[in-house]
Amino acid sequence: MDIKRQVINKFNEIFGADIKNLDNIQQFHEQLENEKHEIEESLSMASTEVPSKVKNAVANVELIRSDVEKSIEAAEELRKSIAKVLEEDNKTPKIKTVIDKIGELEKTLKYLQFLKYIEEISNEMEESMASGNDESMITLFTNLAEINCQLESSSCHNLVNYARETLYYWHNHLKERFSKEYTEVLKTMKWPFCGNNLSALNTIMPETMTRFKILTEYLLQLYLPKNDEPSVKSSLLTDFAPVCLPIALLVRPLRQRFIYHFTGNKQTNRPDKPEWFFTQVLTWIKDHEKWIEKNVQAIADSTGFTYINMKVEFMRALVQLAVEKLHTDLPVAQYDDTHFAHLVDEALGFEHELRDTFLYPANQPATVLVLTQAQIFVKWINMEKKYATEKIDVILNAQSAWERVNGTDLDDMKITECADAFLTLLTTISDRYSHLPQPGHRLQFLELQLELIDDWRVRLLQLLQQDCEDPLNSLIPPILNSLYYVSSVLLEWGDTVHFLQLHYFKKKCDAAELATEEGTDISENYIEENGSVFDDAVALLKRLEKELLDEISDSVALEVKAKSRPYRTDKWFAMQNEKEVASLSVTRTGCPMFEELTKQLHRLNDALSLPLFNIAWRNIASQLDRYLYEGVILENQFNTGGAAQLKYDITRNLFPLFGLYTEKPESYFPLMRESCILLNVLLGSAMLLIEALDGDNEDTAKDVLAEIGIFTLSPTSALTVLKLRTDIVIQ
């Protein structure tokens, strides 16, 4: 059936449905016969050729199989031969045993060589010490220290301990020997150079200075590997790495003086005078820093210890004295608020002096290290809050709180003493915690500042609750000026490096807290959100500022509106034509309104800072524009004289009042300006306008109005104004 279908399809494909195509059937039959003949011939040839080809292929395969089997047999015989030889001649275990033995002997020999080398160095050092050869002793000690460094990773613990103990032994002996001589040299030099010894700087003998340099070089080389340096026992002082030997010996007499004067029952050890010991440490640094840089640093550089900053080492050793003293005094002082606050003030002042004046590195610990201990820090920040709150009370209750600060470059801001003092308080707090190393501590102080800003805002709200008839004569203007100035300064602070860093840390903490609550990862997009730490605080201040500004603007506008009734009810429909009077002058009924507006604007300008006044008069202008449009324009009919008079009052009296504060006052009175245009346009033009505005095409109407300068009034409103003209009669 399939073959039959194929034949039918073939015929349909060749002849199609047209019977005329059957003429080609003879040709198609011949083509099929030819194809059949060719197939039969190919089959005949295949029947004679295929058997021979198959036979040859089978013979080749048999030959290849035979060769493969022979190769496999040969390979198997070779494998057995190799295995037999290896089994007979295998001496690997014996060789391995010999090699391991040699390795152990070599390690033992190396071990003994280290021991012998250490003993030889120790013996040589004894001989050098006996003969007084200091330079040889230092060289040998350096070699011994190098051996200790080489043995750091060794698993031979006994050898390592032996080398370390030998190093300690000679370090202590040499340190004692050179320290004793170093101390004698310092006495000869009359070190330290303070008090009565200041003149000794210029009287040091050359040979004494030479010996000082040599001993300083020796002491610098008496260093211990970092892992062998003595650890600090006090947990507080773990941040203070041991200073180099020369500096430790230079500071020793100063330490003795410090302990003598500032411990025990000495008169100089007064708990209420912490500034005494802080000042003493700063004085010692100031008296000796240049000498240390000039002499000791030069010796260190020439010896190859350029990585040691001798001035910093000297300061660090003296700062440690102050830190130890502060750590001792604070636990007692925390029970007396006054004493505690004074001690914290002096500690912070000491830190600022160190960092700013003497350039003490930021990565080196100082007195803030003590203040940030958990118990002390909590007490500190609570004291800051207490005294800051009391200071705000004093600022707000001062008689001169709302008086202006004179002698500044910002007279237009009309800065009040209240705002200036409050920002000074915030600045002082920032200065006090800016050197804290931990972001978490700084963020807690930032939260305190934000809390104080909000407290100050609430206190201002309480003051504003007092009744007042005239806002311009109340506390509203100075409070407005204070709010604007404080918020402006806070926005500037928000862009400084200090507060930008705090903003980043705060966002990071908030993101971590949110991720913890939701059980998700921290979102980098959340951390990198723009803004500043003062955004929320400034937003609240701006909200209060806007409310007060609206209130004072509304008050001024209300006073002006109260004087406008005669002007609004004047006979605008029966005024003399412009040609009937010699010259136009301000409408008599408008004089009280314009006079009141002039007075109120002057008072407002005098009371508010320039940026606030600019906002206020624009607000007043907008209100008056709407009020006069609705109360004068829409409520009256205007003859030609009335329209001309209104235009004169607005353009020659109202606009100039605001022209003192802007170059284009008319742009702030769009309704009145455009109404005057419509009321004074020529009668013919007015009639054409009415026809255009009466049409249904609003876009065309707007285009027509735009041609005469009308952009604010809608076509409907413009048509209403035009119909208020008495010279136009609407059918």
Of the listed ranges 133-142, 384-393, 490-499, the one predicted with least confidence: 133-142
- The residue that leads in pLDDT, 198 or 128, is 128
Burial class of 229 by CB neighbour count within 10 A (0 to 12, 13 to 18, 19+): exposed
Length of the chain (residues): 731
Take residue 470 and report the two structure tokens written for it: 């005239």
In DSSP terms, which residues pair with 638 in a beta bridge?
A: 725
Mean pLDDT to the nearest integer, 403-415: 79
Q: What are the extents of the domains in the chain?
A: 29-90, 231-371, 377-537, 563-722
Q: What's the predicted TM-score (pTM) here?
A: 0.75
Mean pLDDT to the nearest integer, 267-283: 92
Take residue 284 and report the two structure tokens written for it: 């010692």
Task: With beta carbons less than 8 A apart as the criterion, state whether 386 and 419 touch.
Answer: no
Task: With beta carbons less than 8 A apart as the criterion, state whether 669 and 624 touch.
Answer: yes
Take residue 400 and report the two structure tokens written for it: 């001169």
Per cent of the chain over pLDDT 70 is 89
> What pLDDT was estimated at residue 520?
66
Task: With beta carbons less than 8 A apart as the criterion, state whether 711 and 670 touch.
Answer: yes
Q: What contacts 452, CB < 8 A, 6 or more positions away?
A: 385, 388, 389, 392, 425, 426, 429
In DSSP terms, which residues pair with 725 in a beta bridge?
A: 638
What confidence category does residue 465 fall into, taking pLDDT thresholds of 50, 70 and 90?
confident
Burial class of 517 by CB neighbour count within 10 A (0 to 12, 13 to 18, 19+): exposed
Mean pLDDT to the nearest integer, 291-312: 91
For residue 229, pLDDT over 90 is answered with no
> What pLDDT was estimated at residue 23?
64
> What pLDDT was estimated at residue 511?
81
How far, CA to CA in Å, does 155 sit from each of 101, 111, 659, 664? 19, 12, 92, 90
The 3-state DSSP class for residue 725 equals strand
The amino acid that residue 418 corresponds to is C
Q: What is the pLDDT of residues 543-572, one digit of tens each?
A: 999 999 999 999 999 999 999 999 999 999
Mean pLDDT to the nearest integer, 694-714: 89
What confidence category does residue 14 fall into, taking pLDDT thresholds of 50, 70 and 90?
confident
Q: What contacts 665, CB < 8 A, 6 or more positions away?
A: 621, 654, 655, 656, 657, 658, 659
Q: What is the pLDDT of residues 486-528, one digit of tens each?
A: 999 999 999 999 999 999 998 888 888 777 776 666 555 554 5
Determine how many CB atoms are found less than 10 A away from the CB of residue 601: 21
Concatenating the DSSP letter of every residue in 262-329 gives: HSTT-TT--TT-HHHHHHHHHHHHHHHHHHIIIIIHHHHHHHT-TT--HHHHHHHHHHHHHHHHHHHH
What confidence category does residue 580 fall into, taking pLDDT thresholds of 50, 70 and 90?
low
> What pLDDT was estimated at residue 231?
43
For residue 48, pLDDT over 60 is answered with no
Q: What contacts 704, CB < 8 A, 6 or more positions away?
A: 689, 692, 693
Average pLDDT, the chain: 86
Of the listed ranges 113-122, 358-367, 524-533, the one predicted with least confidence: 524-533
Take residue 667 and report the two structure tokens written for it: 């742009």
Mean pLDDT to the nearest integer, 592-603: 95
For residue 648, pLDDT over 90 is answered with yes
* CATH architecture of the domain formed by 563-722: Up-down Bundle (1.20)
In DSSP terms, which residues pair with 416 in a beta bridge?
A: 404
> What pLDDT was estimated at residue 232?
45
How far apart CA 220 and CA 237 sit, in angstroms, is: 23
Q: What contacts 380, CB < 8 A, 6 or more positions away?
A: 344, 371
> What pLDDT was estimated at residue 98?
78
Q: What is the pLDDT of residues 17-33, one digit of tens each?
A: 666 666 667 777 777 88
Task: With beta carbons less than 8 A apart as the criterion, state whether 470 and 454 touch.
Answer: no
Per cent of the chain over pLDDT 90 is 52
For residue 64, pLDDT over 80 is answered with yes
What confidence category does residue 466 fall into, taking pLDDT thresholds of 50, 70 and 90?
confident
Q: What contacts 255, CB < 8 A, 6 or more positions away?
A: 317, 321
Of the listed ranges 7-16, 59-68, 297-306, 636-645, the one predicted with least confidence: 7-16
What confidence category does residue 298 fall into, taking pLDDT thresholds of 50, 70 and 90?
very high
